[in-house]
Amino acid sequence: MLTTLLRPFISLALLFSMATSAFAGELNVSAASSLTNAFKDIAQSYQHQYPGTKLQLNFAASGALLQQLVKGAPVDVLATADQDTMDAAEKQDLILIKERKDFVRNSLVLIQPMNATIKIARLEDLQQGAVKRIAIGNPASVPVGRYAQLALQAARVLPSIEGKLINTVNVRQALDYVARDEVEAGFVYASDAALMLDKVKVAAQIKIDKTITYPVAVTKDSNNQIEAKRFAQFLASPTAQAIFRKYGFKPL
């Protein structure tokens, strides 16, 4: 008799347990290097809100992340620093097109070491003889490098400074080079410069024709697409957006 009375409640409990387990598990998130600090904080907030989930974060240049995905790396969520890389992932049928969305913006800046004595206020100033090394993300795989290259081409200074450019594997390496005073200048995102205002200074805000927006998408081969969709949606939440603002990103 007692078992009969409890049967509906037992069924409801089982359904709730099944629904919860559908979300729970490990989620592999590959994100652009410039998202490192923000995503670490967001991951903590997400796991606090959804304690059944463990996020594994992988950071690299967007182009490198794409190559990892192409080669079969286990990735549930892909977040890049540009649209071109995500377009390439879409063309190769690696992501769910309907689950692709933009979640934050950024801007391009030219930075110098904090104690630099060389005055740089515009791109043309990079042609000075005193400027011998300029850190720039490798345009072949690093979005910030492509943005910088576009700006240099538009200003018609690229040919005259090409020999000064030091390619980096990601934006954080360019930031480190400037912070350690190993180069006279470097191109990074505003959010990266904000992390080391005690070691670098913004010499110029660089305008480009493209808006720097970050897209996120759920991968087609994800083993946990339900959870992946929920995390991607979480990036647009007030909690996540507040964290992005904290680290110098801009809202859409």
Residue 13: pLDDT over 50: no
Residue 119: pLDDT over 80: yes
pTM: 0.88
Q: Which fold has domain 106-206?
A: D-Maltodextrin-Binding Protein; domain 2 (3.40.190)
147 is in an annotated binding site: no
160 is in an annotated binding site: no
As a whole number, mean pLDDT of residues 90-94 equals 98
The residue among 100, 105, 109 whose CA lies nearest residue 211 is 105
Residue 15: pLDDT over 80: no
State pLDDT tens for residues 127-167. Answer: 999 999 999 999 999 999 999 999 999 999 999 999 999 99
Are 251 and 241 a contacting pair, CB within 8 Å? yes
pLDDT of residue 25: 83
Give the span between the Cα atoms of 158 and 171, in whole angstroms: 19
17 is in an annotated binding site: no
State pLDDT tens for residues 167-207. Answer: 999 999 999 999 999 999 999 999 999 999 999 999 999 99
Domain 10-105+213-246 matches domain 106-206 at the CATH topology level: yes
The residue among 63, 97, 36, 80 whose CA lies nearest residue 214 is 80
33 is in an annotated binding site: no
The domain locations on the chain are 10-105+213-246, 106-206
Q: Which fold has domain 10-105+213-246?
A: D-Maltodextrin-Binding Protein; domain 2 (3.40.190)
